[in-house]
A and B are shown apart, each in its own frame.
Chain A
Amino acid sequence: MSIAEQGTAASTGSAESTDTEASTDTGGLARLDWPAVRLRVRNLRTGFRVDGVLRPIVAGVSFDLLPGQCVAIVGESGSGKSVTARSLVGLAGRNAVVAADELELHHEDARSFSSKRWRRVRGRDIGFVLQDALVSLDPLRPVGAEIAEALRLHGWGDRAARKARVLELLERVGVPSPAVRARQRPDQLSGGLRQRALIASAIALDPDIVIADEPTTALDVTVQAQVLAQLEAMKERGASLILISHDLSVVARLADHILVMRGGEVLEQGSAAQVLAAPEHEYTRALIAAVPGETTRGRALTPGAPEPGPRPAIGDPVLEARDLVKRFHTSDGTVTRAVDGVSFTLRAGETLGIVGESGSGKSTTARLALGLERLDSGDVRLLGQDWSALPESRRRALRRRISVVYQDPLSSFDPRWTVERILLDSLRSERFASGADRDARVRELLGQVGLGAEVLPRFPLTLSGGQRQRVAIARALAPRPDIIVLDEAVSALDVTIQAQILDLLVALQRESGVAYLFISHDLGVISHLSDRVLVMKDGVVVEEGTAEDVFERPQQPYTRDLIAAIPEFAPAGDPRSISPEGDA
Chain B
Amino acid sequence: MGLLTMAELPGDIEISAVITVGVRHADVAALYRDYKAALEGLQRTYELIFVMDGRFPDVSVALEDLQRQNEPLTVVRLTRAFGESTALMAGFERARGRIIVTLPGYYQIESGEISKLVDALSAADLAVGRRWPRAGSRFEALRRASFHRALGWVTGLRFSDLGCGARAMKRRVIEEIFLYGDQHRFFAILAHRQGFRVAEVTVRQSPRDRFEGRYRLREYAHRMLDILTVLFLVRFTKKPLRFFGMIGLALAGTGLLLLLYLIIARLGFAQPLANRPALLLTSLLVVLGLQLFAIGLLGELIIFTHARDIKDYQVDRVIQFHSEAAQTTSTDAEQERIAAP
Chain A bound to chain B: no
Query: A residues engaging B (CB < 8 A)?
Result: none
Query: B residues engaging A (CB < 8 A)?
Result: none
